[in-house]
Amino acid sequence: MIQAPAPPPPSRRRHDREIISLAVPAFGALVAEPLFVMVDSAIVGHLGTPQLAGLAVAAALLTTAVSIFVFLAYATTAAVARRVGAGDLASAIRQGMDGIWLAILLGIAVIAITLPTAPWLVDVFGASDTAAPYAITYLRISSLGIPAMLVVLAATGVLRGLQDTRTPLYVAIGGFAANGALNAGLVYGAGLGIAGSAWGTVIAQVSMAVAYLIVVVRGARRHGASLRPDAAGIRASAQAGVPLLVRTLSLRAVLMIATAVAARLGDTEIAAHQIILSLWSLMAFALDAIAIAGQAIIGRYLGADDAKGAREACRRMVQWGIVSGVVFGALIVLARPLFVPLFTSDRAVQDTLLPALLVVALSQPIAGVVFVLDGVLMGAGDGRYLAWAMLVTLAVFAPVALLVPVIGGGLTTLWWAMALMMTVRMVTLWLRTRSGKWIVTGATR
């Protein structure tokens, strides 16, 4: 007689419920971010290969400009979640407001740097003569939306720390819908070309920032948290984010090197690389949904002095990451005949990207572990180790990637180098979580 499998232990069911309740809405919000770039790529791609190549360079620069400050979300999530675990909501929201003020100041500084240096930045990335004008146009216009996107990052961190991932989902859905409609209308309806795509994205980003500010300000008033900028609090938020800034800069350096190498391989390769990078980012953000749950859950457990709960949650989330990576890898392989024609009708671009997509698919289970462990250590506030681990990864990846034009193999070889990078990250993060040194309990680390 075949017996029914034993039910999972209560702790596993509890962790599963927590992970699902936070990760599912976070998944929707996270995938909306790369979908912005994917929509732009799909619309601009039908204007021509030079336009798509220009977008590839500009998008890499813009993503870097925003993503290096992702600590505004990650550090805030961990800090707010710890205070939630300790039962101090007013202090949690006050810390979030300091992050939002810091985001505004950083955004203004980034615009001041990007506008005058746009031609130089595009040239450094190796854009061809045909693609460079489009890249400069898109970069200058889209940079105006950077302060809004940094505010979105900081406000998202506040809500995640408060264990609310539903509000970011709703805002992301609205922003994605607006971005798609605006892009289509301005690019084709108004005939603005690639400039229309950039303006549509800026308008959508500003709208999202306004929506977040309304929610956070209401929460601050409800719990009696001050809305005024506090120099000491802003300075403390900046200092807490330094290790994660180093970690993120190292990661962005990896992606920038990859894009620069692809650009030097030719317009066909950089156009194909842009499509693959958009899809890779989509998968990365999807896997990061579990990591976002990890940041909020781990921070809350540690803030409540529950080290055992933090360990159990970490173990369960790693299992989720592996399974999710396998599923996403299979989806890439099975769905490629459907989504590739949506991005380009250029047969040369299609032929170039297809073998590289297989490499991306194979590396997804590794990526699942990487993103989960990254989130766990962020939730624990273990930023210093994350910074050193990513520097080691960059030191391994950079020479391998820069040799791609020499050793041959084109774009596929470049993406094998990316798979190597993810493997190194997995090893360094696994060693840290196994050691247990990341477990520090209390309202602050």
The pLDDT profile of the chain, 445 residues, written as one tens digit per residue, is 333 333 344 466 777 777 888 887 877 666 666 667 777 777 877 777 787 888 888 887 887 777 778 888 888 888 888 888 877 787 778 888 888 899 999 999 999 998 898 888 888 877 777 888 888 888 889 889 889 989 988 888 888 888 888 888 888 888 888 888 888 888 887 878 888 888 988 999 899 999 999 988 888 888 777 778 878 878 888 887 889 889 988 988 898 899 888 888 887 888 888 888 878 877 887 788 888 888 888 988 898 888 888 898 898 889 989 998 999 999 888 887 777 777 777 788 878 888 888 899 999 999 999 999 999 999 888 989 999 999 999 999 999 999 988 887 788 899 999 999 999 999 999 999 999 899 988 767 6
| Phi, psi (rounded to 5 degrees) for 436 | 80, 0
| DSSP per-residue string spanning 3-60 | PPPPPPPHHHHHHHHHHHHHHHHHHHHHHHHHHHHHHHHHHHHTT-HHHHHHHHHHHH
Question: Around Cβ 153, how many Cβ atoms within 10 Å?
Answer: 25
| Sequence-separated (6 or more) residues with CB below 8 Å from residue 109 | none
| Phi, psi (rounded to 5 degrees) for 437 | -70, -15
C-alpha separations of 12 from 316, 347, 375 in Å: 7, 49, 19
**Taking the model in full, what pTM does it have?**
0.77
Whole-number Å distance between alpha carbons of 7 and 166: 29
| Phi, psi (rounded to 5 degrees) for 227 | -100, -10
CA dihedral 384, 386, 392, 397 (to 10 degrees): -150
Question: Which residue in this structure is represented by tokens 């998202």?
Answer: 156
